[in-house]
Structure 1
C-alpha cells in the first residue's frame, strides 16, 4: 500500500510509553472516546513534529510508517496496542513520542445523529440570527466539554472559542458544511 496523503490522515493520539514486555505500546488518545483508534486495523506512525511546526508535507510523508494493529484495548484511560512487527519492550520504547494517525475513511461509520469532530473542521459557523461567525478551524476537548475554535481557516487566526454543548450547538449540517450556534459575534 502506498503512503496516503497527510491530508487523508487524522491524528488520534501519541505513543506515551511501552506497555509490558511483549512490545505493546501505550497510546494517549486525543479523545475521551477513542472509537476510531480502538477499531483501526492499521495505523500510521510519525516521529517528526506536528504539521503546524513548519515541516513540509513531503518530509512528513516520507517519515510515515504503517503498522497493522494486532489488538487494541482501553486500560486506565489509555489505549494499549499490539502492533505487527513490534515484539519486545525495546522496539516499543523506540516508538515513544510517535504520533498515531489513521486514514479518515477507515473510521467506523457514525450513527445518523452523531459525527466525528474532525468532520466539523471547515464548516461555516453561523448564529441563529444568520450572522456568519467564521469557519471552524479546530475542535478540542478541555475536560468538561469540547470547544469549537472559530476563525479564519486560511491564516488559522482564532476569532472565538465556543463551548461544544447542546445549549450552544443548535444544528450541525455536514452535507452543507454549516453549524448553527446560539452565540453572538461580540461574545
Structure 2
C-alpha cells in the first residue's frame, strides 16, 4: 500500500499541504498525498502545522474533489483571508489513525530509515524518502552518495524485510 507521505515526525504522518484559498468563503486548496486524494478526510484529527512550526489540531475537516483538486473546509476558517493565512501549512495525522497495511503491503513512511543493500551486498546507506514521478515511484537511498532507485517490485526492489530493517535491491553499486 503506497502512501505518498514524504516524511515522519513523532508518530505523525504528513498527508497533505494547503496551497491557499479556494473562493471567498474560507475553503482551502489542498494537495493530498492519499490515494484516492479525497481519502485524506477519512484520517482525522488533522494537525495543521504552519511555516513557523505553530500547530493546531483540527477535527471535522470536510471537503470534496473538484476539477482543480481537493477542496477542504475547516472550522474557524470562514473567509478568504483566514484561508490564505494557512497557505503553505502541512496536514499531519497521528500514525495510528491509518489502517494497518495488509500482508505484503506497507506505507512509504515505514521504509524510511531501513538499510539498503544490493544483491551483491554493497551498502547503499538508508532509505531517505520516496517520491512519485508519475511514471513510477522512486526510492532515495543515502549513504556514500545519493542513489535514486525505481521502486519496481521485483525488478529493482527485491525484498523488504522489516524484521532485519533491510531493503535489498537489484541495482549496480556504480550506477
- TM, length-normalised to structure 2: 0.80
Which of 5, 12, 15 matches 1:12? 15
Q: Runs of 5+ in structure 1 lacking a partner?
A: 50-59
Q: 1:141 to 1:11 in 2, by over 3 A?
A: same
Task: Tell me what 1:56 maps to.
Answer: none
Q: Secondary structure at the match of 1:81?
A: strand
Q: Cα RMSD between the aligned structures?
A: 2.5
Task: Tell me what 1:46 maps to.
Answer: 49
Q: Runs of 5+ in structure 2 lacking a partner?
A: 1-7
Q: How far 1:116 sits from its partner (Å)? A: 0.9
Task: Tell me what 2:132 maps to.
Answer: 141
Report whether the alignment pairs 1:184 with 2:175.
Answer: no
Q: Secondary structure at the match of 2:10?
A: helix
Query: Which structure dedicates a bigger proportion of its chain to helix?
Result: 1
Q: 1:174 to 1:186 in 2, by over 3 A?
A: same
Q: For the residues of structure 2 that align with 1:130 and 1:36, how far apart are their CA atoms? A: 39
- TM, length-normalised to structure 1: 0.76
Number of residue equivalences:
167
Task: Tell me what 1:116 maps to.
Answer: 107
CA contact (8 A) 2:158 2:168 kept: yes
Q: For the residues of structure 1 that align with 2:151 and 2:38, how far apart are their CA atoms? A: 19
Written as runs of structure 1 = structure 2, the 5 A alignment for 1:1-187 is: 6-30=9-33, 33-34=36-37, 37-48=40-51, 60=53, 63-76=54-67, 78-152=69-143, 158-166=145-153, 167-187=155-175
Q: 1:66 to 1:158 in 2, by over 3 A?
A: farther
